[in-house]
Structure 1
Amino acid sequence: MKLLCCIFISISIVWADDSGLRYEKDKVCEQLHAMGQPKFKELFIAVYSQKFPNSTLEEVMCLAEEMLKLGEKCCAEGAAADCYDKGATEISDKSCQADSPFPKHPGISKCCAKADVHERKVCLASLHYPADELPSLLEPTNEEMCQDFTQDRIGYSSRYVYELARRHRSVPVGLVLNATGIQTQILEKCCTPTASTPCFLSERFQGRQFNILLRFTSNHCNNNVNLKSYKDGLTAYYGSILNISFEKAQPMVQDFQAGLSKCCLQPNPECLMQKFTTFQQVICNDRYPDECCKSSRAPWNTVLCVQGLKRTTRPPPDTPPTTALCQQDNHNATERFLFEIGARAVHSSLPVISTALSKIKEEVKACCSDPDFQACMTKEDGHVAKATAFLTKSEEICSKYKTLDFPSFKAM
């Protein structure tokens, strides 16, 4: 199913003039006619579940139904030219009412206080929840799923999209819809009087690669959206995996991270898949011609394989940081400094490395305005000391986690 970026309608995208509004309406109507009402509504359930993950299914469904009604009304032959814009404005006004049935958000009152209708819609579109993790999605038994599915197939699909999308809120929404399609296909095939556990096992085995792709993509996109120094962490991470210098690692990772920023929040996953393909070609260019770069491997599978390789231990930097980190024309000095620290953390996870480097980066910036740069950078209660201690402890714990059996690690 091909999804268009402009599907987010006027509540998410505000155009500056009438021609833009007509273009937006045309694209929405084209998508509604191509997908049909049930799939069109499912798309919006996924979009708003990602945007408002702490809202109830009923609140998300209510907003999705309003958007479907807007499309049906304004895409009908003979609809007024301003039908679409007026309808989107009414929806944004309704979301500001005290008794609104739509998803709630802590910052919504700030947006609703804006007098200008376009400013209000832009503000509402920019709201997003923090990156709090939801509990893992517990899958019911095969019998329970079949009972729910056979009783209400559309309702089951809507609930599944809601639960999946709110737990994978940073991935292209097309991946969530594809995963839902795979799940409903499994139930259609296996929820029959003659089907049994072997049917579920066989179907899930065939779909396992897509589930791995969804989790892998979700991790990368979620980290890219929510970690301040993800690019610095990625550079250090792949530098230690590939055992390459900062000069080689930085441009390679910079392009990949820019691709994540561009593609993760696009509805269509094709952009992200192309970025994985490009990254695979860069990684496999005379670096890992063996197990991770077999021609039969999917591009994202190559990246996942490389991430599982043993990282190379690197020596500490020879010289302490200097005021060269503060020079305006030396753009790579701080990044190189962070690389040398992060690349030594060969057992820690990428989010841990990125978090530590983010704190160190803050300290470098603060110390550049301090008369005694060296003293500022080496003070015991500073971010550098605390982040370094954090990485050291992480290395100690993660090293033992990888070498001890689980009972021994748990006892420790």
Structure 2
Amino acid sequence: MKFLCFILISISVGWAEDSGLRYEKEKVCEQLHGMGKQKFKGLFIAVYSQKFPNSTLEEVTCLADEMLKLGERCCVEGASADCYDKGATEISDKSCQADSPFPKHPGIIRCCAKQDVHERKMCLASLHYSAEELPSLLDPTNEEMCEQYTQDPIGYSFRYMYELARRHRSAPTGLVLNATGSQLRMLEKCCKPAPSAMCFFTERFQGRHFNIFLRFTSNVCHNNINLKSYKTGLTAYFGSLLKISFEKAQSMAKDFQDALSKCCLQPNQECIIQEFTEFQKGLCDESMLGTMSEEFQKCCGKAPMDTLTCIENLKRQPQTLPDIQPISQSLCQPDSPQETERYLFQIGARQLTTSVPVITTALNHVKDRVEACCSDSDIQTCMSQKDGDVKKIITLLSKADEKCTQYFKLGMPAFKVMVEAEVQGDGDQAAAKAETLVDLSSACCFQHSPAQRCQALTEKLISYDKGAAV
């Protein structure tokens, strides 16, 4: 969407005034007049729904209305030069009132305590929710959607945008806007004169590739933002998915994460599409294709965005890896800085079913212990003391991977009975461990597992004294 980046700059200025990033008022005003009030307001609803996913639609809409009024007031001939800055200050002041109608956040009190206006705006602008992910958005029936849309098209569009944006809070806003536009075009086409099941089927079928890409992008962006040591987990994942060496997997993980870090929080979708296109070229390079499976080669024959989602659906493959050795001083050699990452790769690349958030979280715990020992005055003694913890984490990760396979084979009722029976000998922790492991398997054995929830569940399992016994 042309000039979307400038509008998003204005949103930042609404609560933050960055002297290093001048607000290009003319271009934003041009876009306001070009989009019209409703679309411009919709953009703000999408952005603030992503920023504050736990807020109500009414709170988000109230803030969007204020931003629209600010634009209308300051994008007219004769508006004073400081119109926007003054208006932005008024909005930030209003957000600090006890009865503020704007989105709520635990950090607002801390920000509003700052006396310096500039610092307060910067603090408010940096606020983001870190709560666990929301469940997927489920559409009502075709008839219900048509009724809601025909009764109030604008209200429906804002509600849909709000619900979609808060569930894809880490993806580029442009993707959310495009998805909302597709939904509205489908309703406009398929609801008149009466709901048409065939029309809905056709439209959804034609839009399936974009919807898959949105979910894929939202997932990997969310992982990148929320998972510590995500590149380590990605390296292991690419190693098992593509059956490639540590060096190739690490290089691929770096390129992929660099693309995410550059583009996920960019408002325009063009950035992520361009970076993914370049990544696909390297992934499907002719020098590599000859060594890959037939299924992989078929994926590379698709359009760049479809290639990535296609490869994601491939089964991870077991490969021959060295036996995992006890942690030792050899992981701390200054002339071999990649030895720890190689060690973590050998652990993670063995996992064939559990999700990247689980693998990443477990590997990060191993990494923390190794790095702590490498900084210790007595490295080898520290390694010997921590090796038991590391073995428990490795065993837990292998068991989690095994449980994913069993979960898909047995189904929830039989799986739950099996897990409860397995942990009966774990004393007082048995019931809690069984519940956590069932929760982890039901939430974290899928491609697009929720990063924060799976991270929390994995850490909960690791926290048990006898984590290896699950």
**Band of TM-score, shorter chain:** over 0.9
Aligned equivalents of 2:117 and 2:24: distance in 1? 18
Match of 1:358 among 347, 364, 368: 364
- 1:345 aligned to 344, 348, 351, which one? 351
Q: Which of 288, 295, 300 is matched with 1:291 structurally?
A: 295
CA distance in 1, matches of 2:110, 2:331: 39
Query: Does the CA-based 8 Å contact 1:316-1:341 persist in structure 2?
Result: no
What residue ranges of structure 1 are gaps of 5+ in the alignment? none
Deviating more after overlay: 42-51 vs 23-32: 23-32
Asked whether the equivalents of residues 230 and 360 of structure 2 are also in contact (C-alpha less than 8 Å), the reply is yes
What amino acid maps onto 2:183 in structure 1? Q
**Structure-2 change in CA distance of 1:293 and 1:265 (3 Å):** farther
- Partners of 1:45 and 1:365 in 2: CA distance: 43
Q: Residue type matched to 1:376 in 2? A: C
Contact 1:229 1:358 (C-alpha < 8 Å) held by counterparts: yes
Match of 2:18 in 1: 15
2:314 aligned partner: 309
Query: Residue in 2 aligned with 1:300?
Result: 305
User: Which moved further from structure 2: 400-409 or 220-229?
Assistant: 400-409
TM-score by length of 2: 0.81
Percent identity (aligned):
65
Deviation string 1:118-138 (CA, Å, 9 cap, x unpaired) is 111111111111141213322
What are the superposed Cα offsets for residues 334-379 of structure 1, whole Å, 9 maximum, x if unpaired? 2222111111112221111111111111111222233443453454
Per-residue CA deviation, residues 140-163 of structure 1 (Å, 9 max, x unaligned), is: 111111111011100000000000
Q: Which amino acid aligns with 1:222?
A: H
CA drift of 1:221 comes to 0.7
Task: Show the 5 A alignment for 1:231-242.
Answer: 231-242=231-242
d(CA) in 1 for partners of 2:297 and 2:268?
26
Please report the TM-score for the alignment, with normalisation by the length of structure 1: 0.92
- Give runs of aligned pairs for residues 67-82 of structure 1, distance below 5 A: 67-82=67-82
Corresponding residue SS for 2:138: coil
Output aligned runs, 1:1-400, within 5 Å: 1-8=1-8, 9=10, 10-11=13-14, 13-16=16-19, 21=22, 23-285=23-285, 286-287=288-289, 288=292, 290-294=294-298, 296-310=301-315, 311-317=317-323, 319-328=325-334, 330-379=336-385, 383-400=389-406
Deviates most, 145-154 or 30-39: 30-39
Structure 1 position 204, deviation (Å): 1.2
Give CA deviations for 1:213-266 in whole Å, capped at 9, x if unaligned: 111111111111111111101011101222221122212210110110110111
Inter-CA distance 196–318: structure 2 relative to 1 (3 Å threshold): closer
Query: Residues 98, 382 of structure 1: CA spacing in aligned structure 2 closer, same or farther, 3 A cutoff?
Result: farther
Deviates more, 1:278-287 or 1:147-156: 278-287
Using the TM superposition, give the Cα deviation of residue 388 of structure 1 relative to its aligned residue in structure 2, in angstroms: 1.2
Gaps of 5+ in 2: 419-470
SS in 2 for 1:139: coil
Q: Is the contact made by 1:11 and 1:92 (CA closer than 8 Å) also made in structure 2?
A: yes
